[in-house]
Amino acid sequence: MQLRQIASVLAMLLVVPVAVQAAPSTPAPKPAAKSTPSESPSAIKMDKSKWPRGITVASAPVGGVYYAWAAGWQKVLTEKVGLPTNVEVTAGSVQNIMLVEENKSTFGITTTSNTFEGWNGQEWAKGKKYQNIRLVLPLYSSYLHGVALAKSGIKKLQDLEGKVVGLGAKGGGGDVMARNTLRVLQIKPKRIVNAGFDDMNDQMKDGLLDAQLTAAGLPLPSFTELEATEKLVFIGINSEDAKKVIAEYPYFVESTVRAGVYKAVSQPVPTLALWIMTITNKDLPEDFIYTIVKETYANQDVIAATHPVGKEMPMERVASSPIPLHSGALRYFLEKGIKLPDKVFPPEFKR
């Protein structure tokens, strides 16, 4: 009887080590890690040694919304990303696309219309395709609207026929949008002036300019400044004319300059709009652009403190981008659950 008990104990001792050795091949499941909004399902490896040592942002002339937005963004990039940032005064959208295409500026602010044309080699691009550019951030809406002195007698867009009209910096988003609109509607000014916003204000006060027509976020700082000393009338586009323009340029939409945005605008002014975007070169590191996008959204209030349009950066807008997103930006928006069509995935993106 004792011999049987001893044999049974020995058998159990022989079995136990086998069971212990087998355990590693079937590990117990671990609780799923909880992710925060800033964490990626496939985390990006940070390698700051490949980041640029400084940042340049191609904007537009002083007095415009591009420049004001960029000034707010500069604070975010300098203080939160930790890189010295310089805001460059440029002629606007078209020049910004050229600078980013050739990696001469880290970022550029531009319109969906100019970006579409550059990508496809149309209009101002004259057959050359600018396809090194990538979307980084969707920004605010830009509204085509004009202004004239109340004593000028100008009340509507058609009144610009035979007048001297300022369209902003040559090649800027406002200049291109205004020219295209005037051409479609067969409105022929006596002369078109391309100049900075402050310069155009001075020319209007001196009687050298009859009106201004441009596209910008609301309010345009130079229009607000002009309104502080002059009685103005604001010019929009009626729905019938807007539809004619949209038929040729489908990236425009009908919209309104809301009442109260300027002192002289007591009722909504019908017009056309498109949206503004920041772009970068496809060769910039994915982790760098991811960090830029993340910190921008985390500190959006800093930009809004510089200009109200800083509040308007709807993520869903990237789904209708006329160009692919940068891989770093794409990864951020995917993390946020934004549904994106295949057309905005860049070829260099690693799924």
**Angle (CA) 263 266 267, round 5°:** 140
191-193 and 164-166: which strand pairing? parallel
Q: Are residues 154 and 257 in the same domain?
A: yes
Cα diameter, the chain: 122
SS3 breakdown of the chain: % helix, strand, coil, rounded to 5?
45, 20, 40
The CA distances from residue 85 to 107, 196, 210, in Å, are 11, 23, 38
Residues in the chain: 351
Q: Report, as an integer, the average pLDDT of 280-293.
A: 98
Strand ranges for 154-230 from DSSP E: 164-166, 191-193, 211-216
Instruction: Report the alpha-carbon distance of residue 237 to residue 187 in Å, rounded.
Output: 12
Q: Report, as an integer, the average pLDDT of 198-221.
A: 96
Residue 51: what are its φ and ψ, rounded to 5°?
-75, 155
Question: Domain for residue 246, yes or no?
Answer: yes
Question: Domain for residue 110, yes or no?
Answer: yes
Q: Report, as an integer, the average pLDDT of 256-275.
A: 96
| CATH (domain of 200) | 3.40.190.10
Instruction: Report the alpha-carbon distance of residue 123 to residue 68 in Å, rounded.
Output: 28
Number of domains in the chain: 2
**Angle (CA) 51 328 316, round 5°:** 140
Strand ranges for 112-257 from DSSP E: 133-149, 164-166, 191-193, 211-216, 232-235, 253-257
**Looking at 274, 290, 313, which one is the last position of a domain?**
274
**Looking at 222, 241, 274, which one is the last position of a domain?**
274
Question: Domain for residue 8, yes or no?
Answer: no
Q: Report, as an integer, the average pLDDT of 118-142.
A: 96
Tell me: the pLDDT tens digits for 9-22? 333 333 333 333 33
Tell me: the pLDDT tens digits for 61-80? 998 999 999 999 999 999 99
Q: Are residues 137 and 280 in the same domain?
A: yes
Q: Report, as an integer, the average pLDDT of 245-271.
A: 93
Q: Are residues 338 and 264 in the same domain?
A: no
Burial 56-94 (b: 16+ CB within 10 A, else e): bbbbbbbbbbbbbbbbbbbebbeebbebebebbbbbbbb
pLDDT band at 173 (very low <50, low <70, confident <90, very high): confident
User: What is the token pair recorded at 145?
Assistant: 């609207």
DSSP-derived letter for residue 64 is S
Question: Domain for residue 132, yes or no?
Answer: yes
Q: Are residues 190 and 299 in the same domain?
A: no
Cβ count near 270 (within 10 Å): 17
pLDDT of residue 167 exceeding 80, the answer is: yes
DSSP-derived letter for residue 55 is E
Enter the pTM of the model.
Answer: 0.77
**Domain ranges, residue 230:** 142-274
Long-range contacts of 149-155 (CB under 8 A, 24+ apart): 149/204, 149/230, 149/231, 149/232, 149/233, 150/230, 150/231, 150/232, 150/233, 150/264, 151/231, 152/210, 152/211, 152/233, 154/210, 154/211, 154/233, 154/235, 155/233, 155/235
| DSSP H or E stretch at residue 122 | none
Residue type, 78: T
User: What is the token pair recorded at 109?
Assistant: 């602010």
Q: Are residues 150 and 224 in the same domain?
A: yes
pLDDT at position 43, please?
Answer: 61
